[in-house]
């Protein structure tokens, strides 16, 4: 049987039990050992952006869609931190644990199976998104940029979005020949998304075809839409579309990434 | 008859273009120490990994404690402790945390895990390293911690994949002591090794593998007697001496390695002494035949005259 056929034949829904949380707990314990260092970047980074772009650049920018520039970018900063923390946790972080530390090899000799190891990693990535973006949200709140009580729904949405970016990142981890490989998705996927997803300037600058394309394929667009809507209290129908889009993409990549990792780890 | 704990029938593992394990049959009995010997790439580690359910079989059957490895991996993994060849301790944690986090993977409650971990630190003589990060341990300490970690779930079966590779003699002997004491406690041990003295020292029974097949099996002492006799005569190569040897020991196996001749014979103890009395030869030594002689004979690399 060819490699591809074998993969197709063995493709299945992952068998998961409560043991997923044992893997999550392992990562959580490591994180808490150095929590001060881990809390620093999500605390400082948004301050720099808000000051430099919001106050600095914002002074030259007229209102965007009726919003002061700083208020336009604030939700984007939260959404970007969702993307970055989980994507990099499940690419560089997971790759180091898998390849250099052989942590996964150690875990699968216990009653925990490989699917549960990967699912635990994905949930951990989502948790990192939740933690980081909640800190960013706190900074944004301190700047007085939150105008709707619906903002309390942002953390659960961050967890969901985190699971999506974790799962996408884990697919790259499953095919990465070495750690430098992550430069490709970093610069070809994450960086353009960071700049082009309705984050620092509005979508309406794009021709309609490009807008449709971005809506169809860029996950960050939907994370930004949801975060902005909840922060400002604009409940529009686009929010429903975004949440369905994220849920569907998350399920797809969650299952795909576990199967790809299984192929990589179990020969 | 002792109870069979592990039974493999026609066990096969095939990769795309490589047959790692080729239709092997074997049994491992309860409370024995069974050694898998073989050159690199013989299929030892692959077999071990199939026993503890992390590698799926290509064909054949493999049962541990009566349970099929493809059907009951969790139940089987619960009763097995694994000390892998490759060091995979968790570098993000200290010594004690490595044991505790591992215990958690087995669902061992915290107080019990702590008690067990303390006991194992003592057993592996790592008490003083309790709160040291893995990076700062010596190779020998790491091996001991890997052994301790493999025991955290109080396994009935212990898989030791090259437990002493790269260790100095002191560290090796310490591991051997631990393995012996575990054997006494009734733990079934499967050991792979490249060191024949280690196998002879620890194993009740050995299986010799080569090219994915089991080519011989038996008690170390019996294998030595069967394949290489009791004594080995070694001397420098000399065509004259060679001729005399061939006349004197027509049934003997003469082996040349480098510029030394080794003579193996099935004849009883003492024949070589008689020979050397009649033909005193410089640099000749008589030594006991050992498992390494068997290994080299069976797995090749010898040049026969």
Q: What is the pLDDT of residues A226-262, one digit of tens each?
A: 999 999 998 888 899 999 999 999 999 999 999 999 9
Q: Is B236 found in the same domain as B172? A: no
Q: Is B193 found in the same domain as B118? A: yes
CB contact under 8 A, B55 and A267: yes
Would you say residue B303 lies in a domain?
no
Q: Is B214 found in the same domain as B258? A: no
Model confidence pLDDT, tens digit, residues A110-164: 999 999 999 999 999 999 999 999 999 999 999 999 999 999 999 999 999 999 9
B52: helix, strand or coil: coil
Q: Where is B77: in which H helix or E strand?
A: helix B73-78
Model confidence pLDDT, tens digit, residues A73-105: 999 999 999 999 999 999 999 999 999 999 999
pLDDT in the model for residue B304: 28
The complex's ipTM works out to: 0.90
pTM of model > 0.90: yes
Instruction: Report B:229-288 residues touching A (Cβ under 8 A).
Output: none
pLDDT higher than threshold 80 for residue A4: no
Would you say residue B297 lies in a domain?
no
Phi, psi of B215 (to 5 degrees): -100, -15
The Cα-based distances of A222 to A73, A123, A197 in angstroms read 15, 20, 8
For each of chain B's 305 residues, which pLDDT tens digit applies? Answer: 689 999 999 999 999 888 999 999 999 999 999 999 998 888 999 999 999 999 999 999 999 999 999 999 999 999 999 999 889 999 999 999 999 999 999 999 999 999 999 999 999 999 999 999 999 999 999 999 999 999 999 999 999 999 998 888 988 999 999 999 999 999 999 999 988 899 999 999 999 999 999 999 999 888 988 888 888 888 888 888 888 888 888 888 888 878 888 888 877 777 788 788 877 777 788 888 888 888 888 887 643 23
Phi, psi of A166 (to 5 degrees): -60, -50
Would you say residue B293 lies in a domain?
no
Nearest chain A residue (CA) to B159: A109
Would you say residue B66 lies in a domain?
yes
CB contact under 8 A, A106 and B92: no
Instruction: Report B:13-42 residues touching A (Cβ under 8 A).
Output: 15-16
B301: helix, strand or coil: coil
A10 at B interface, C-beta within 8 A: no
Helix axes A208-217, A219-232, angle to 10 degrees: 90
| B74, B78, B88: residue with CB nearest A105 | B88
A266 at B interface, C-beta within 8 A: yes
Neighbours of A178 (CB within 10 A): 8
Q: Is B127 found in the same domain as B62? A: yes
Min CA distance, B303 vs chain A (Å)?
A: 37
Nearest chain B residue (CA) to A22: B105
A267 at B interface, C-beta within 8 A: yes
How many Cβ pairs within 8 Å bridge chains A and B?
A: 60
Mutation site, A24, A101, A111, interface B, largest B CB count within 10 A? A111
| Domain range summary for chain A, segments of one domain joined by + | 41-59+66-190+206-265
CB contact under 8 A, A101 and B87: no
Domain boundary, last residue among B180, B201, B224: B224
Q: Is B214 found in the same domain as B234? A: no
CB contact under 8 A, B78 and A266: no
Domain CATH for B241: 3.30.70
A195 at B interface, C-beta within 8 A: no
CB contact under 8 A, B90 and A267: no
Q: How far apart are CA A166 and CA A154, in angstroms?
A: 18
Q: How far apart are CA B291 and CA B298, in angstroms?
A: 11
Domain CATH for B129: 3.40.50.300
Domain boundary, last residue among B168, B203, B224: B224
Q: Is B235 found in the same domain as B115? A: no
Q: Is B236 found in the same domain as B148? A: no
B22: helix, strand or coil: strand
Residues of B with Cβ-Cβ distance to A111 under 8 angstroms: 74, 77-78, 105-107
Neighbours of A149 (CB within 10 A): 9
CB contact under 8 A, B54 and A107: no
Q: Is B173 found in the same domain as B111? A: yes
A16 at B interface, C-beta within 8 A: no
Structurally, chain B folds into a number of domains equal to 2
CB contact under 8 A, A107 and B105: yes
Q: Is B239 found in the same domain as B147? A: no
CB contact under 8 A, A108 and B92: no
A263 at B interface, C-beta within 8 A: no
Q: How far apart are CA B191 and CA B150, in angstroms?
A: 13
pLDDT in the model for residue A2: 66
| B16, B54, B107: residue with CB nearest A108 | B54
Instruction: Report A:61-100 residues touching B (Cβ under 8 A).
Output: none
CB contact under 8 A, A29 and B153: no
Average pLDDT over residues A42-54: 93
The answer to whether A82 and A158 have CB atoms below 8 angstroms apart is: yes
Residues of B with Cβ-Cβ distance to A267 under 8 angstroms: 15, 55
| B77, B91, B101: residue with CB nearest A101 | B91
Residues of A with Cβ-Cβ distance to B84 under 8 angstroms: 105-106, 109
pLDDT in the model for residue B181: 93
Listing from the earlier edge strand, what are the strands of the sheet with B231-236?
B285-288, B231-236, B260-264, B253-257, B303-304
pLDDT higher than threshold 80 for residue A43: yes
Residues of B with Cβ-Cβ distance to A107 under 8 angstroms: 105
Q: Is B151 found in the same domain as B269? A: no
Q: Is B178 found in the same domain as B143? A: yes
Q: Is B112 found in the same domain as B34? A: yes
Domain boundary, last residue among B224, B240, B262: B224
- The percentage of chain A sitting over the pLDDT mark of 70, rounded to a whole number, equals 99
| A3, A102, A111: residue with CB nearest B74 | A111
β-pairing, B213-218 vs B205-210, is antiparallel
pLDDT in the model for residue B57: 94
Would you say residue B201 lies in a domain?
yes
CB contact under 8 A, A3 and B16: yes
Q: How far apart are CA B224 and CA B200, in angstroms?
A: 10
- The three-point CA angle A71-A76-A80 to 5° equals 150
Host domain of residue B278: 230-288
């Amino acid at each position: 049987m060819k490699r591809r056929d074998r993969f197709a034949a063995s493709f299945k829904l992952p068998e998961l039990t409560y043991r997923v949380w044992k893997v999550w707990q392992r990562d959580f314990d490591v994180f808490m050992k150095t929590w001060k260092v881990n809390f620093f970047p999500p605390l400082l980074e948004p301050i720099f952006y808000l000051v430099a772009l919001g106050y600095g650049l914002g002074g030259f920018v007229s209102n965007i869609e009726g919003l002061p520039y700083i208020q336009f970018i604030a939700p984007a900063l939260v959404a970007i931190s969702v993307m970055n923390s989980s994507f990099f946790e499940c690419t560089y972080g997971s790759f180091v644990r898998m390849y250099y530390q052989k942590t996964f090899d150690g875990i699968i000799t216990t009653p925990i199976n490989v699917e549960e190891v990967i699912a635990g990693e994905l949930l951990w990535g989502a948790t990192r998104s939740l933690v980081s973006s909640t800190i960013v949200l706190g900074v944004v709140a301190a700047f007085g940029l939150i105008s709707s009580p619906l903002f309390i729904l942002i953390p659960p949405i961050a967890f969901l979005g985190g699971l999506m970016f974790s799962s996408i990142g884990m697919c790259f981890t499953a095919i990465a020949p070495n750690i430098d490989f992550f430069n490709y998705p970093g610069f070809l996927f994450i960086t353009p998304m960071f700049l082009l997803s309705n984050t620092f300037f509005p979508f309406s600058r794009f021709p309609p075809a490009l807008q449709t394309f971005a809506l169809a394929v860029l996950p960050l667009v939907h994370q930004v839409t949801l975060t902005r809507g909840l922060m400002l209290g604009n409940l529009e129908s686009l929010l429903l579309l975004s949440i369905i889009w994220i849920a569907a993409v998350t399920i797809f990549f969650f299952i795909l990434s576990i199967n790809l990792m299984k192929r990589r780890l179990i020969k | 008859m002792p109870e069979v704990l592990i039974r493999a029938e026609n066990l096969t593992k095939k990769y795309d273009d490589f047959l790692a394990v080729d239709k092997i049959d074997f049994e491992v009995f309860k409370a024995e120490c069974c050694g898998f010997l073989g050159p690199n790439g013989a299929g030892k580690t692959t077999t071990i990994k199939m026993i503890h359910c992390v590698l799926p079989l290509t064909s054949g059957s493999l049962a541990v404690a009566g349970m099929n490895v493809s059907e009951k991996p969790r139940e089987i993994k619960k009763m097995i402790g694994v000390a892998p060849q490759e060091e995979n301790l968790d570098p993000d944690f200290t010594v004690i945390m490595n044991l505790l986090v591992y215990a958690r993977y087995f669902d061992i409650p915290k107080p019990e895990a702590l008690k067990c971990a303390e006991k194992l630190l003592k057993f592996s003589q790592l008490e003083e390293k309790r709160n040291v990060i893995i990076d700062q341990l010596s190779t020998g300490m790491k091996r001991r911690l890997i052994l301790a970690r493999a025991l955290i779930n109080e396994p009935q079966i212990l898989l030791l994949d090259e437990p002493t590779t790269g260790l100095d003699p002191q560290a090796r002997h310490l591991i051997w002591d631990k393995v012996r004491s575990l054997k006494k406690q009734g733990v079934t041990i499967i050991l792979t090794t490249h060191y024949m003295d280690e196998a002879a020292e620890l194993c009740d029974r050995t299986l010799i593998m080569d090219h994915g097949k089991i080519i011989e099996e038996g008690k170390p002492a019996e294998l030595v007697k069967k394949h290489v006799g009791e004594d080995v005569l070694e001397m420098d190569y000399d065509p004259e001496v060679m001729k005399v040897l061939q006349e004197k020991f027509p049934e003997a196996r003469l082996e040349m390695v480098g510029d030394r001749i080794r003579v193996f014979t099935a004849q009883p103890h003492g024949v070589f002494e008689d020979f050397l009395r009649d033909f005193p030869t410089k640099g000749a030594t008589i030594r006991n035949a050992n498992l390494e002689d068997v290994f080299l004979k069976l797995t090749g690399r010898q040049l026969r005259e």
